[in-house]
A and B are shown apart, each in its own frame.
Chain A
Amino acid sequence: MTIFTITDLVDWSRAQFALTAMYHWLFVPLTLGLGFICAFMETIYYRRGFDPEWRRTVRFWMRLFAVNFAIGVATGLILEFEFGTNWSNYSYFVGDIFGAPLAIEGILAFFMESTFVAVMFFGWNRVSPRMHLASTWLTAIGANLSALWILVANAWMQYPAGMRFNIETARNEMVDFLEVALSPVAMSKFAHTVTSGFLLASLFVVAISAWFLLKKRQEAFAIRSMKVAAVFGLVSAVFTAWTGDTSGVHVARYQPAKLAAMEALYEGRNGTPLTVVGLLNTDKKHDNDAPIFDFEVKIDKMLSLLAFHDLDAFVPGFNDLIYGNAEHGIMPVSEKMERGRKALEQVTLYSNAMREGDTGELARIKRLFDIDTPEGEAFYNDYFRYFGYGFLKSEDEIVPPIGLVFYSFRVMVGLGVWFVVLFAACLVMLKKGTLVRRRWALWLMLLSLPLPYVAGQAGWIVSEVGRQPWTVQDMLPAMASVSELSYEAVRTTFFIFAVLFTMLLVAEIMIMVRQVKNGPEAIKD
């Protein structure tokens, strides 16, 4: 099947959102990290009595920041509006909760970032050095604050907390803001995502500095930049791994199907091994007995340990999740679908009763949806919590694309380990003063430049493909979230934006390469 033969609106809508998000994430992590790196460097410049060398260094990296910044902002605008254009039903159903962080992001973070970024670029001779330094810091903080709010919103979709369903408006409504904003998933997602951005930006600086050293140009500048970036990079890489581990624990707890996809786990068991690397057998489906792997390297009990911090913990596989596992209290999906439909039916009954003015019936249904009443609590636990399953047409819809998630996860984690090693080695060599001579090491650093981009994209694939079919976990599947559009309309705009983004990406890379080649010597005071 080629992309041109897809006629499914949901798939095209997914494709359009994925396209925008993936392009967005090519630019944003650099903004998140390079903002801070510029702030560190400018602080050093300020503290060292306005050393002109440091000023040139900061300005060089700021120029690259500027080239990258605008396109991140542009793709972000589209993402925001695509919730409405492509996922309008979703926007209605959860806008009460999801919209709030987005609005707060706009009011609190975007203005900060966009106001001070102008001072940061153009204010060198217009404002005092102190004000300039403050602006650089505020730009970096603003960028990361906006990441916080959008990740809070994303985390809420993966782990819907702090809300209740309102039968009168037929949607979910927020009842506890702090539960939404400070949910553990939101915190670990924020920490993992921004630190991965710091890591990416650090490697960006290290790799470009390595290029200068290989060319034997601007060596003092390159070493100076590398020192800042390697320290920041190592700390960030360690944090990324640590917070990634916490994210994994949350996935195990709240999104077991995603974990099963990450591990290609079909049969759950106690003391589950971790597949370190593996080659998936493409014939394997959940309903046949084909072997899962053509090749694998496993560590016994490791998955149980990582996911539940218990060597003997039970980790469910797809067969448990689809067909149920009474021993471990897992209900079959068919049963969940049945219960979900019952919950959906009540919504329809409520609408009918409204039309007919049947007050008795209205009161009965209202009580069911009021979790503070005993009936409400029972209805919630027995039926409403499976609301989203009511939309599913078949039980295997809960299985996300396993191969994509499985491989992406390994790419991300594998690279994560590599980055720790790389930054640590870089620092050691810098300290010993041997780096400039070790051309192979400089080459490795330079060639690693694309890798954090790959890792970041892989991370989002794990997170977003892995949670399919849900836009809101267990509450709303993608097929009930889309706008009523023709797939042709979405396809057309998909291609228009695909061409536009690609063109702009190529332009950005060409401009960046040219700026790097011009080097800090091209910067006039």
Chain B
Amino acid sequence: MESYLTYQHYWWFVISLLCGILVFLLFVQGGQTLIYRLSGGDKDRKTLLINVLGHKWELTFTTLVTFGGAFFASFPLFYSTSFGGAFYVWMAILFFFVIQAVAYEYRSKPSNLLGARVYESFLVLNGFFGTILLGTALGTLFTGAEFTVSRDNIASLSGSNVISQWQSPWRGLEAVLDYRNVALGLAVFFLSRTLAIHYFYATVNSNKIIAKSRRPLIVSTVLFLVFFLVFFGGVMLGGGYETNHATGRIWYVAHKHFHNFVELGWLGAGFLLGLVMVLVGLFMGLDRCKNTIWVSGPGVVVTVTALMLCAGFNNTAYYPSLSDMNSSLTVSNSSSSLFTLKTMTYVSYLIPLVVAYIAFVWYLMTKKRESVDDLDDAPEKY
């Protein structure tokens, strides 16, 4: 049992880490919402921005796919409860990511049916809704959702066989009724814009773009901090559910997430470390430092990972049910079997190798900052 619980925690850690990396990589989405603003209507500069983002869109996309796949494999009950339940939210997220995938490739190609403007608007829409919807959905890991889980249903000979049932007819859209979810959605959105500008400092060689980025950077940085504080404060002040992994019993604890940071000192320290890195990054960004993204980016990964760990560690229900407390999901009642978790753990040892080659390729491809002239000489571009 003990070791089963360890694997369950390990996999919650992997999910948390993937989520941290995903939120960092959403800078691609944030950048997409800035292509008009920062190019100031200049076609070449817009193309430059789209190209430096375009070299990374796949990475964000793949991380999203892997995040989904890993969640499915390690916590299938979450997959069936949230995805099948918050149907409209997930479908909307999918829609806004599909339109992104083709937009880069099709935008500048002749005979592309819809015209460059439409594909650019796909990028902008993906940037807005992709981030806000994902952020709002993540918020429900802290604030809960309206569902019930009953495993007996599978064998029902008369009633419904569906194990996870959603209780709200709004199928996930009701998440906007909790201000904390919306605040997280907006925080993720403004963070993605902030990180995008940090990324441009490292990859774009254009004084005009850099000059135009100052105001949106300040606005995004400030709004990110405001919305994040609203979310964070709301979650720390609110309650959460605690469980006994051995008996499966679940009960309410006031300020549960706050306690988690205090009781797991290393987690609180990790969170603070991440936060400090993010803050330092934000200040470096205001100074237009080229290496900002290498501070703010890892800072975001650490902070988000710590937040996600806070949602699931320390005997916390990571997906609280607002309809029936006992249906809430915890790492122990929603995970895959010990055997599956163990098998996948062996595979996960390869993750550092994957990260290493991604970093290597990133380095190779962005050795020097790119200018409009470079793009003119490039054999291929978006």
> Which residue numbers of A lie inside 8 Å of B, CB to CB?
59, 63, 66-67, 69-71, 73-78, 80-81, 83-89, 91-93, 95-100, 102-108, 110-119, 121-127, 131, 135, 166, 169-171, 173-175, 177, 341, 344-345, 347-348, 351, 390-391, 479-480, 482-485, 489, 493, 496-497, 500, 503-504, 506-508, 510-511, 513-515, 518, 523-525
Contact = CB atoms under 8 A, between A and B. Distances in A.
B1 interface: no
B354 A95 contact: no
State which size class the interface on B falls in: 35 or more
A484 B98 contact: no
Given A91-B83, A118-B365, A485-B87, A107 B348 contact: yes
10 contacts: A74-B102, A89-B80, A92-B79, A96-B76, A96-B340, A102-B69, A106-B69, A114-B61, A118-B58, A131-B364
A81 B68 contact: yes
A71 B58 CA distance: 12
Contact of B72 (A69, A77, A103): A103
- Chain B contact residues: helix, strand, loop or mixed: helix
A351 B152 contact: yes
A271 B361 CA distance: 59
B128 interface: no
Given A83-B72, A174-B337, A514-B110, 9 more contacts: A99-B336, A99-B340, A102-B72, A107-B66, A107-B70, A118-B55, A347-B154, A503-B114, A515-B109
B70 A74 contact: no
Nearest to A511: B109
A524 B376 CA distance: 11
B207 interface: no
Contacts of A479: 161
B163 to A, nearest CB: 5
B77 interface: yes
List of 9 A-B pairs having minimum Cβ-Cβ separation, nearest first = A95-B76, A88-B84, A84-B83, A99-B73, A106-B66, A483-B84, A74-B101, A347-B155, A103-B73
A103 B347 contact: yes
B48 to A, nearest CB: 13
A175 B339 contact: yes
Nearest to B109: A511
A103 B67 CA distance: 8
Contacts of B73: 95, 99-100, 102-103
Contacts of A177: 339, 343
Contacts of B155: 170, 344-345, 347-348, 351
A107 B154 contact: no
Contacts of A92: 76-77, 79-80, 154, 163-164
A512 to B, nearest CB: 9
A115 B355 CA distance: 10
Nearest to B55: A118
Given A73-B61, A95-B80, A122-B365, A511 B101 contact: no
Nearest to B82: A84
A99 B154 contact: no
Contacts of A66: 105, 380
- Chain A contact residues: helix, strand, loop or mixed: helix
Contacts of B69: 80, 99, 102-103, 105-107
B59 A115 contact: yes
B160 interface: yes
B106 A507 contact: yes
B95 A100 contact: no
B332 to A, nearest CB: 11
Contact of A111 (B112, B114, B151, B354): B354
Given A86-B84, A91-B72, A166-B337, A125 B79 contact: no
A111 B76 contact: no
Nearest to B101: A74
Contacts of A96: 76, 336-337, 340
Contacts of B237: none
A489 B171 contact: yes
A119 B111 contact: no
B65 A77 contact: yes
Nearest to A91: B80
Contacts of B95: 496-497, 500
B178 to A, nearest CB: 22
Contacts of B106: 67, 70, 507-508, 511
A421 B112 CA distance: 35
A121 B82 CA distance: 37
Nearest to B360: A115
B84 A119 contact: no
B379 A124 contact: yes
A72 to B, nearest CB: 9
A507 B358 contact: no
Contacts of B344: 100, 103-104
B173 to A, nearest CB: 11
Contacts of A348: 152, 155-157
A351 B74 CA distance: 24
B58 A126 contact: no
A122 B380 contact: yes
Given A111-B358, A114-B58, A124 B162 contact: no
Nearest to B163: A92
B321 to A, nearest CB: 15
Contact of B83 (A81, A496, A511, A518): A81
B62 interface: yes
A83 B79 CA distance: 9
Contacts of A114: 58-59, 61-62
B84 A85 contact: yes
B266 interface: no
